[in-house]
Amino acid sequence: MYNSKFCVSKCAMVLLVFLLHSVSGRADTVLGAWQNTASLPKPFCAHTMVTVNDCLYVVGGIQGNAYGNMKSSVFRARIQEDGMLAAWESITPLPQVMGHHSAVAIGNRIYVVAGRSHGSILNNGIMAKPTTYIGLVDEHDNIEKWEEICGFPDDVVYRGALAASDTHLYYAGGFYRRLVYQAHIYPDGSLSEWSRAGNLISSHAYLGLVYYENHLFVIGGNRGYLPHDALDETFSTTIQPDGNIEGWRRCLEMPRPNYGFSLAQKNNTVFIVGGAGPRDDVWCTSVSKTGTFSKWKREGPFPIAVQGGAAVVHKNHIYHAGGRTKLTNGRLTTLKQVYVAKIGILLKDK
């Protein structure tokens, strides 16, 4: 009887703490321990990763340690009931090699935007692919083909960031770029031509971009190649009825300047994994419908210092794949490891 009463009291106390946090506007996110799951077939960085149905898809990227070794490969792994991954399988590749591109999944469609590619337009020594691909995921979780549905207005944009609302795609920044572009998403999943939606406050590359409740949020990045160009700035803007943006407000800074991190979002909770250095830290914050950030919270170390990887949330798990780490001799090497952690209580909107 004593043990039974003790258990009931303990449960009541946990519930009370949760309710108090909820009333105050937030409840702490809790990440479980990171675990190894099925590795990528090859080491990759500068790739993208999205989730459709109960599968993860890794699209393009740089294979191995040769910086120019970009690939068109697309890999799929099925997510099992415990959150672990089945083996990765190769499926229909992109029409050409891509790296430093951006991707987002909406419903059963995967959109791949901009990026860098061999044989694409050469401008001031920078190669980029001014295009937008769409891949339709079928009932068997395959992609029959990739279709080039529209171009992209800037032929040197890569290392920017992509976010999606219910009605638009937004692409911001890039290599020495400060422009923000928008494309309207039609009911059949096709896109309008890209058009200019506004400007960032300054040029940003390797940044994070998040959409939530009619706001865009910019996180970190850098203004060039050098480490001292790293930024700790965050900004938000309200999306106008025509889909454009006008003006940015400065928000709560990151704990320290960072770029080249992996970003994953679940509702209004944002996770940042690793970053330039490379780093082994994991941070989270929440964004609000009024355009603000909550206080950044450190979630403990990642199993390995990493930059240039890819992260995504599926249901109550967060996944991180690939990237680069530094060896004891100081050289960077590319990874094929994939890690997963379980997500506990999510941050609440204010």
Comparing C-alpha atoms, which of 32, 27, 31 is closest to residue 294? 27
| φ and ψ at residue 242, rounded to 5 degrees | -85, 5
pLDDT per residue rounded down to tens, the chain (350 residues)? 445 444 444 444 444 334 334 433 444 658 999 999 999 999 999 999 999 999 999 999 999 887 778 999 999 999 999 999 999 999 999 998 999 999 999 999 999 998 887 644 444 444 566 789 999 999 999 999 999 988 888 776 778 999 999 999 999 998 888 999 999 999 999 999 999 999 999 989 999 999 999 999 999 999 865 556 899 999 999 999 999 998 999 999 999 999 999 999 999 999 999 999 999 999 999 999 999 999 999 998 999 999 999 999 999 999 999 999 999 898 999 999 999 999 987 655 55
Residue 93: the pLDDT is: 97
Residue 198: the pLDDT is: 96
Q: Note whether residue 176 is domain-resident.
A: yes
Residue 265: the pLDDT is: 96
Q: Is the dihedral of CA 77, 80, 85, 87 positive or negative?
A: negative
Task: Give the CA count within 13 Å in the CB-facing half-sphere of 31.
Answer: 27
Residue 66: the pLDDT is: 78
- Per the structure, how many domains does the chain have? 1
Q: Which residues, in sequence order, are CB contacts of 14 under 8 Å at separation 6+?
A: none
Q: Note whether residue 21 is domain-resident.
A: no
Residue 61: the pLDDT is: 95
Q: Is 210 exposed, middle or buried (0-12, 13-18, 19+ CB in 10 A)?
A: buried
Q: Note whether residue 194 is domain-resident.
A: yes
Q: Note whether residue 16 is domain-resident.
A: no
Q: Identity (one letter) of the amino acid at 336? A: K
Q: Note whether residue 4 is domain-resident.
A: no
For residue 285, the domain's CATH number is: 2.120.10.80
Residue 241: the pLDDT is: 93
Which domain covers residue 77, as residue numbers?
38-342
**pTM, full prediction:** 0.89
**Which alpha helices (DSSP H) does the chain contain, by range?**
2-24
Q: Note whether residue 334 is domain-resident.
A: yes
Residue 85: the pLDDT is: 98
Q: Note whether residue 12 is domain-resident.
A: no
Q: Which residues, in sequence order, are CB contacts of 199 under 8 Å at separation 6+?
A: 178, 179, 180
* Under 8 Å between Cβ of 135 and 92: yes
Rounded distance between C-alpha atoms, residue 249 and residue 271, angstroms: 21
**Which alpha helices (DSSP H) does 92-198 contain, by range?**
none
Residue 158: the pLDDT is: 79
Q: Note whether residue 244 is domain-resident.
A: yes
Q: Tell me the pLDDT of the chain averaged across its residues.
A: 87
Residue 71: the pLDDT is: 93
Rounded distance between C-alpha atoms, residue 55 and residue 52, angstroms: 6
**What b/e readout covers 180-190, taking b as 16+ CB neighbours within 10 angstroms?**
bbbbebeeeee
